[in-house]
């Protein structure tokens, strides 16, 4: 079911299924990718409790092997509406009999969207309801229309980071699994010019990047700014080997599995470890200019 929140700047629609954004409009201009079955049918997947793919779709916990699909469970769950106001909505996912088969932890996972002038504040909160530590990753996977002006082209746009940064690209193979890392050279240490062939080998996954990035064109007065202070990784992606009119900018807390390794989640270093009966919160922002 769709819910809409709005203020004087933005009108934002969210679906309870996957707690997924459906629309971001300013001045009646659509900034969010609207999905296409021939390329990428989603719009803004929420990722939890695992980022990306696993070797053989499996992981190990306490010596037992479990199965989980790409980007975790939340994307397949119809969330409960916990709170809805004119400028804010809070949605909740709760562990149940089905989730326990893939992820043996008792938890509550909240996603809230709150409008503050031209900005959407997106808060993820995880509550560990179990009597043992839980291990997880989370993040966002929003797709944005490029070009934002129909008279322009995809290649007219670029990403510019807030500060100069010496980024590494986490390399993945055709299965979406990590094979290593290498230094990635940005123009002036902060600019990535968009080209369709950037994604021929799937996503770019950056670490050591600046914690804010703007999608813009020098020929367009519209732009999209993402700020993600507590995310260590940033995925940048569109459908490989296709000329599609969107780009995903994806703040992540953790990484996919390594190629050839069925990960033991108690040992995977980039996962969040949340102690029993504790809470974890992570907030990031989308600003529409």
What would the mean pLDDT of 4-16 be, rounded to a whole number? 98
pLDDT of residue 96: 96
What would the mean pLDDT of 175-183 be, rounded to a whole number? 96
How high is the mean pLDDT of the chain?
97
> Residues 44-101: pLDDT tens digits?
999 999 999 999 999 999 999 999 999 999 999 999 999 999 999 999 999 999 999 9
pTM for the full model? Answer: 0.97
pLDDT of residue 255: 98
pLDDT of residue 27: 96
State the total domains in the chain: 1
pLDDT of residue 43: 98
pLDDT of residue 130: 96
pLDDT band, very low/low/confident/very high, at 184 (cuts 50, 70, 90): very high
Residue recorded with tokens 């079955």? 37
Q: What is the CATH number of the domain that holds 260?
A: 2.70.98.10
pLDDT of residue 268: 97
Domain limits for position 40? 2-288
């Amino acid at each position: 079911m769709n819910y809409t929140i709005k203020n004087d700047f933005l009108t934002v629609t969210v679906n309870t299924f996957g707690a997924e954004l459906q629309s971001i409009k300013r001045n009646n201009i659509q900034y969010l990718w609207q999905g296409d079955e021939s390329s990428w049918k989603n719009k803004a997947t929420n990722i939890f409790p695992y980022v990306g793919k696993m070797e053989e779709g499996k992981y190990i916990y306490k010596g037992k092997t479990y199965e989980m699909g790409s980007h975790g469970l939340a994307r397949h769950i119809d969330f409960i509406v916990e709170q809805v106001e004119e400028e804010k909505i809070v949605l909740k996912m709760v562990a149940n009999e089905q989730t326990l088969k893939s992820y043996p932890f008792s938890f509550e996972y909240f996603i809230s969207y709150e409008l503050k002038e031209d900005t959407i504040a997106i808060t993820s909160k995880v509550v560990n309801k179990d009597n043992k530590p839980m291990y997880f990753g989370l993040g966002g996977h929003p797709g944005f229309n490029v070009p934002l002006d129909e008279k322009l082209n995809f290649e007219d746009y670029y990403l510019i980071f807030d500060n100069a940064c010496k980024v590494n690209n986490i390399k993945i193979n055709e299965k979406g699994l990590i094979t290593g890392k290498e230094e990635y050279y940005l123009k002036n240490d902060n600019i990535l010019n968009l080209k369709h062939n950037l994604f021929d080998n799937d996503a770019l996954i950056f670490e050591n990047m600046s914690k804010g990035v703007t999608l813009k064109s020098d020929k367009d007065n519209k732009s999209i700014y993402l700020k993600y202070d507590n995310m260590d990784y940033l995925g940048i992606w569109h459908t490989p080997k296709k000329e599609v009119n969107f780009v995903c900018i994806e703040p992540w807390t953790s990484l996919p599995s390594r190629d050839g390794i069925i990960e033991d989640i108690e040992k995977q270093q980039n996962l969040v470890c949340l102690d029993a009966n504790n809470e974890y919160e992570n907030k990031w922002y989308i600003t529409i200019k």
